[in-house]
């Protein structure tokens, strides 16, 4: 509710603000990131159903980006119809029912406007109903067996891929097959419900099913955060090497939810170089860089870090599919308190936006 009132106030202020000549930029008054990066890689953003209600944000998305991701609407929590799953389980414990209520709006928007979609995410330990992992889809019952969970995993992946490909052929160009499997402290697989039910090979099995049901040419990614930290990086590399050996993975997604200066650009560079060395595709899937306040110095440091990350990815443009920011305006970010994005609350491009732009311009 608080978030909605804040957004309404911003919208009203924006309208008032725009009455003053010269104070209101239209979406064509400044360059387009996707044009600046054309021929190099896609530039994208995460959006939500709410984003699409705002006509100005729709214009910004269409002009600035070539690829979008649903911030929440294509996660298991949104796609699984657990009530229906429980009904079906009376006949078949592995049956899975899905629904695409929010996803549909985002896929329609992408299809109508010629935008690609990166699917996020098939398997994750978060934003997945607990009941999905239990016998009868009932949290009061025991965790389901490996056999049941492999059945549910295959059915879920098949249903999601079949539904999206049938109605939106070619729109989803890539998927995060598994998200955040590596634990920050142990540097190896976290003991998630997937791990507890299926076991050590659950990530590999997910890639196997994803490959089996994905349309030709759809790229399959493993996606994680804190890649720049050596302990975690070692675990991620070990997992990627195992997946590469099985032949079903295409690439790695660096989330990059950072703060200015943390981790350092040196650490980020080393991590990107190491994973690039594995010879797989790369993407920055969820870029945002937090600052403590909107002081001029902070905004400029934020710009510098956005620019440095883009320059780094441009070094690997042959391997990079896309760089995607995780949202549009600071106030709608999941890290709203840290002003981490490239548009301000008035939907104006921030210095960070120009940092991304300059990196491309200086390359040409």
Contacting residues toward ligand XIL, per CB under 6 A = 71-72, 179, 255, 286, 334
Q: Where are the beta strands (DSSP E) in the chain?
A: 42-47, 67-70, 116-119, 123-124, 172-179, 219-224, 251-254, 257-259, 281-290, 320-325
Catalytic residue among 73, 93, 154, 286: 286
Q: Evaluate whether 87 touches 96 at the Cβ level (below 8 Å).
A: no
Residues β-bridged to residue 288: 257
Place of tokens 């899937």: 285
Nearest residue to ligand XIL by CB is: 334
Nearest in space to 327 (alpha carbons), one of 10, 72, 59: 72
Quote the CA–CA distance of 142 and 136 in Å, as a whole number: 9
How near is the Cβ of 286 to ligand XIL at its closest, in Å? 6
Q: How many C-beta neighbours within 10 Å does residue 304 have?
A: 17
Catalytic residue among 73, 93, 154, 180: 180
Place of tokens 């239209």: 26
CA 158, 164, 167, 173 torsion-angle sign: negative
How near is the Cβ of 299 to ligand XIL at its closest, in Å? 22
Quote the CA–CA distance of 273 and 275 in Å, as a whole number: 6
321 in active site: no
How near is the Cβ of 179 to ligand XIL at its closest, in Å? 5
**Nearer CB in complex with ligand XIL: 163/334:** 334
Q: Residue length, the chain?
A: 364
How near is the Cβ of 255 to ligand XIL at its closest, in Å? 6
**Nearer CB in complex with ligand XIL: 229/354:** 229
CA 291, 296, 302, 306 torsion-angle sign: positive
Place of tokens 């928007």: 109
**Nearer CB in complex with ligand XIL: 30/334:** 334
Quote the CA–CA distance of 103 and 108 in Å, as a whole number: 9
**Nearer CB in complex with ligand XIL: 270/335:** 335
How near is the Cβ of 78 to ligand XIL at its closest, in Å? 11
**Nearer CB in complex with ligand XIL: 71/290:** 71
180 in active site: yes
DSSP 104-116: HHHHHHHHHTT-E
Residues marked as catalytic: 180, 286
């Amino acid at each position: 509710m608080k978030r909605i009132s804040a957004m309404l106030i911003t919208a009203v202020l924006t309208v008032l603000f725009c009455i003053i000549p010269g104070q209101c930029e239209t979406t064509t008054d400044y360059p387009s990131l996707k044009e600046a990066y054309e021929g190099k890689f896609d530039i994208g953003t995460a959006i939500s159903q709410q984003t699409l209600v705002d006509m100005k944000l729709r214009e910004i998305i269409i002009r600035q980006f070539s690829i979008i991701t649903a911030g929440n609407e294509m996660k298991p929590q949104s796609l699984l119809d657990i009530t229906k799953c429980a009904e079906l389980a009376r006949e078949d414990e592995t049956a899975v029912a899905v629904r695409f209520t929010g996803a549909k709006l985002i896929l329609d928007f992408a299809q109508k406007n010629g935008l690609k979609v990166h699917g996020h995410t098939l398997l994750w330990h978060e934003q997945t109903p607990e009941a999905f992992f239990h016998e009868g889809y009932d949290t009061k019952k025991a965790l389901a067996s490996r056999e049941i969970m492999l059945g549910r995993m295959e059915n879920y992946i098949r249903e999601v891929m079949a539904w999206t490909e049938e109605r939106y052929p070619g729109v989803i160009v890539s998927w995060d097959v598994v998200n955040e499997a590596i634990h920050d402290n142990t540097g190896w697989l976290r003991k998630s419900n997937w791990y507890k039910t299926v076991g050590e090979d659950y990530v590999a099995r997910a890639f196997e099913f994803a490959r089996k049901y994905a349309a030709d040419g759809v790229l399959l990614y493993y996606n994680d955060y804190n890649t720049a930290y050596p302990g975690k990086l070692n675990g991620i590399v070990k997992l990627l090497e195992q997946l590469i050996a099985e032949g079903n993975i295409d690439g790695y997604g660096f989330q990059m939810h950072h703060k200015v200066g943390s981790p350092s650009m040196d650490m980020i560079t080393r991590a990107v170089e190491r994973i690039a060395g594995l010879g797989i595709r790369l993407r920055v899937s969820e870029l945002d860089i937090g600052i403590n306040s909107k002081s001029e110095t902070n905004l400029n440091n934020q710009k510098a870090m956005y620019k440095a990350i883009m320059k780094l990815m441009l070094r690997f443009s042959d391997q990079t599919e896309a760089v995607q920011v995780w949202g549009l305006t600071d106030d709608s970010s999941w890290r709203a308190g840290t002003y981490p994005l490239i548009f301000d609350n008035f939907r104006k491009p921030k210095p960070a936006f120009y940092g991304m732009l300059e990196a491309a311009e200086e390359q040409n």
